[in-house]
Structure 1
Amino acid sequence: MSMSEQPTSASSAGGDIEMRAALAAGWKAHDLDWERLQEQGNACFEQGDAAGAARAWRRARWIAMFRFALSDPRRATTLANLALLDRMAGHEAKACARYRRASRKWERVGGFIETMNIARRARSSLFHLRMEARHWDTYTDNTRKRFAAFAAETARALDCLAGNRPVEVRLFGRWRGEKPSVFDDTRKFLSAALLIGGGAGQPGAKEAPPSETQAPPDGE
Structure 2
Amino acid sequence: MSFTETNTSAPRIWGFKPDAERRAAREAGWSRADLAWERLMERALAAAAQGRVRPAVRLFRLADLLARIAFPAADLRRATAPANLAALQFRRGALEEAEGLQARALRIWAGAAEQVEAMQIAPRSRSSLFHLRMEALHRETFHANLKTRVGLIAEEAGETLRNLTSGRAALHRHASRWRGEKPAVFDGTRKVLGACLLLLDA
Same fold (TM over 0.5): yes
Matches within 5 A, 1:25-44: 25-44=28-47
More helix by share: 2
Contact 2:87 2:165 in 1 (8 A): no
Q: What SS is found at the alignment partner of 2:164?
A: helix
- Counterpart amino acid of residue 150 in structure 1: I
Q: Residue 80 of structure 2 aligns with which residue?
A: 77
- Cα distance change on mapping 1:142 and 1:170 into 2, 3 Å: same
Choose from 49, 53, 58 the match for 2:52.
49
Contact 2:86 2:164 in 1 (8 A): no
CA distance in 2, matches of 1:186, 1:119: 8
- Cα distance change on mapping 1:62 and 1:101 into 2, 3 Å: closer
Q: Residue 117 of structure 1 aligns with which residue?
A: 120
Q: Are 2:173 and 1:170 aligned?
A: yes
CA distance in 2, matches of 1:129, 1:151: 27
- Cα distance change on mapping 1:5 and 1:99 into 2, 3 Å: farther
Q: Residue 164 of structure 2 aligns with which residue?
A: 161
- Cα distance change on mapping 1:157 and 1:172 into 2, 3 Å: same
Shift of 1:13: 5.1
CA distance in 1, matches of 2:9, 2:87: 18
CA distance in 1, matches of 2:92, 2:22: 34
What percent of counterpart residues are identical? 43
Contact 1:5 1:59 in 2 (8 A): no
Contact 2:178 2:194 in 1 (8 A): yes
- Cα distance change on mapping 1:28 and 1:4 into 2, 3 Å: closer
- Counterpart amino acid of residue 65 in structure 2: W
Q: Residue 67 of structure 1 aligns with which residue?
A: 70
Segment drifting more, 170-179 vs 55-64: 55-64
CA distance in 1, matches of 2:167, 2:32: 34
Q: What SS is found at the alignment partner of 1:72?
A: coil
- Cα distance change on mapping 1:141 and 1:96 into 2, 3 Å: same
Choose from 134, 138, 149 the match for 1:135.
138
Residue-pair matches, total: 196
Q: Are 2:23 and 1:20 aligned?
A: yes
TM-score by length of 1: 0.83
CA distance in 1, matches of 2:126, 2:14: 32
Q: Residue 218 of structure 1 aligns with which residue?
A: none
Shift of 1:75: 0.6
- Cα distance change on mapping 1:5 and 1:196 into 2, 3 Å: farther
Shift of 1:6: 4.2
- Counterpart amino acid of residue 165 in structure 2: A
- Cα distance change on mapping 1:4 and 1:102 into 2, 3 Å: farther
Contact 1:106 1:155 in 2 (8 A): yes
Q: Residue 91 of structure 1 aligns with which residue?
A: 94
TM-score by length of 2: 0.90
Q: CA RMSD, aligned part only?
A: 2.0
- Counterpart amino acid of residue 195 in structure 2: A
Shift of 1:29: 0.6
CA distance in 1, matches of 2:51, 2:166: 22
Choose from 106, 110, 115 the match for 1:103.
106
